[in-house]
Structure 1
């Protein structure tokens, strides 16, 4: 099929490359000429494992191209809208300017029988509004909401082999014309067993918001338990193991730490609360305020624990922060807890050095006042205290005996509870985990 992908950010670029991998003829369209230039040479301007290799592979077949010319969308039978919906400045709600602008630019190039597919995470009610605009321009075109469920660091695999496909169509019917078209788009993953669910527009819009809110709640729950464990002298990792055996609860996302960040969970739960308030259902989501509050409180708690680890004062203390990205296998520093903690430590007098395998360039744009060092050994040299705040595998694999020979002080705070506490203590380190005795 001929497919256009509007918006070549993280979601759109991965989607475009994967659709070409599935055999479709794809054009990716974005207003940012810098992105277009990078993608056209088979190089992504952001880090996602496997994406550069996939870009080069599919571009060699001639099935994938990138442009800033929206008229190139004409002739495609399916148009995916993949632009961002960031948090509005000074508010909780989602900023819909980019989605609206993308639709305004796309509409003149939509023909009879075309399918416009929204993949952006939007407030419920957006699809109905956009469907009306589409109908005014082209009554014989159709709007579908097809939410994405990508995990940064696994986005290529999640697109080629999704754990679910949700189609939101106007009447919620399996017989809707657009369902058969999307089944053709996703023929390979469907044949490989990916489950598919057809719903109405509002339900499809709510799926991503509800899923992210549930995951955020689970993370904040175990972080709240970590606070209780610290007060009681209990071990939150063993607590999580015990309750996670219950298949009604499950062990995934029960890892206590410094909290969640990134470009999705924080802004999505806030936008969900804001939209619920607009619909008069704000009481239903008041618990998400506490979820958000617990998450932000973790950052302050790590600063407090670091001060304790440093003997009660941060002034002049040399601290090396291991990790700047909000999660490993990503260079995304949006709402990164690690960077926020590093900045707070520096404001309170510590001498902070931040290292990360992939995210330093983006980190320096967000917090230029921090000191950055790409080489891990150099970053740790002479440090009084280490903070592991992003669980990159190379940090998890550190040998405490080898590391100890290059630092000034044997103190480490494991902000992700991924290190072997007994091993580090045996090597002479003062080890501190979160929610652990």
Structure 2
């Protein structure tokens, strides 16, 4: 029997909530500890499965991992067991963890070689890793696939800086190529680089370790290779997807909520997009305060045409929050077109929302029009299964705003990305039980 959440919705919440450390940043900066033999301390690490698995994997490789407190670890990658990369343990653990690709760049840079199990095709989709491998190849790495054991053997004993135009502005792809380039000989230029705050954080951390990187925050990075890197201390940003989720939660449940320590300047246009839905929020210090609102009205464009909200590479709106925006629009006044450009099938969870009474027209796999109910009609609780991390939290928000009882199955999907979400929501007064 898998775990499920039972939610009795329809009541306003109240209180303060602190976002966890950013999951996507964690996977990158934790991998970066492999670039040095010195000690690296990382704080504000979220306690979630994907991150814990990566930390465990580093331990298996020979990194000395010490947990200082709940969210702070030190890592010392003095002695790495090279044979581990050909082991069955690595194959099963590395294969089952999407973040494991992130260790390849640092390993190639520091040791000149790596072996990696061929990643499962369907889990990641074909294109996701091409950017990584093309980048490594441009730096001079050679890949040989061994069909007998299912591993790629990579020889990178002579990485040379070069000009790289990435085929897509992939965040993980950029991060991986940056980590490989910091110890390569000569200068590497990466154009069409992703410039998300997480990536800026990684580059700033590498700079403190002694890397020479310029252009941080832009899509053109220049990296001068150095001989070696040293230790450092690093604190993760708060997770902007959680912050966006909590803004949406407050609006949809008519709750007064304060989101603590949000690093507002790193949120880009996220607060503005929620404001476009009519949600009032104010910045108090570095906290976002959302007052209890009975109504919020979607703005139209200046010429009166229907508002469109679409995702785009940073500093555009992150695709991870489109599911949240879609759900929050259900109880707004007015209509909005949600256009999910980057991923197919991210919108297929709308069928569950329709069962709850939402007015949504699914135009195609990428677009959905939401006709807001303006709280005239409440959603009704139903039983449902969460298809992916982001849809899971969107459904959770819908359930908390609905009348009656909802059950959400497959909550492992939610917990891959959100730590102790049930206890944290209970603290705001949510009626949520784990079964």
Q: TM-score, normalising length from structure 1?
A: 0.30
Q: Which has the larger radius of gyration?
A: 1
Which one has the bigger helix percentage? Answer: 1
Higher relative contact order (CA 8 A, sep 6+): 2
TM-score under structure 2 length normalisation: 0.30
